[in-house]
Amino acid sequence: MDTKGLWEKKRRVMRHYDRVAAIYDLQYREEQDAKIRAALESLHLERDSLILDAGCGTGILLDHLRGSTTVIVGVDISLEALRQALKRPSFSDKVNLVRADVDYMPFPDRTFDNVFAVTLIQNVPNPEATLKEIRRVSKPDAMIVITGLKKTYSPEVFLETLYKAGLEVYALKDADRLKGYVALCLNKERVTRTPRLVENPRRARESITSAL
């Protein structure tokens, strides 16, 4: 896809989410909650973590992280979606919202301890480039949550997209109740292509942590 095509897709996505921002939660809240819960049940977030919500949309993740971390930064290209996020009861002085393109985020290298990219990569023109930008702003060994819509990706294509971007997948959640795959990744210099399908997330997380 040429540069003009890339920006045309980004503009279409921006206009779409500007139009649906006011009703987005009514349509997709349950689906998004399920993916976020699937990720959080396997993660331990430190109180002083700096978290990036890449493609934050209307800020559904904020409700799940209320009181759990020091600072959350949400980035989205849709101004109307960010305005909805500002209205959430979970919005606080610990939350910073930034209107920006996730392919060119205005942050230094190695900034964030944890990154969430929920319902993002199917909406960008070059998922590999977007994921590499997420890696750039993530600290080494940062925990990164990526989801991919099942009707867009097969498991094999989803994983290959993550691997090409240099992400190590230590767990992949593919429960029937989820409309998207939930990948728990590490920002590693060398990638091992051996994801784990998690049956008991908490126990698996303990075993994975001890092996790192």
pLDDT at 132 over 80: yes
Average pLDDT, the chain: 89
pTM of the model as a whole: 0.89
Give me the pLDDT at residue 5, please: 83
The mean pLDDT of 163-182, rounded to a whole number, is 92
Report how far Cα 63 is from the mean position of its chain's Cα atoms. Answer: 15
Q: How confident is the model at residue 212 (pLDDT cuts 50, 70, 90)?
A: very low
Between 19-23, 47-51, 85-89, the lowest mean confidence (pLDDT) is in: 47-51
Q: Exposure pattern of 65-91 as b/e (b: 16+ CB <10 Å)?
A: bbeebeebbbbbbbebbbebbeebebb
Nearest to 24 by CA among 67, 65, 56, 53: 56
3-state class (DSSP) for residue 205: helix
Report how far Cα 116 is from the mean position of its chain's Cα atoms. Answer: 3
Round to whole Å and give the CA distance between 71 and 113.
Answer: 11
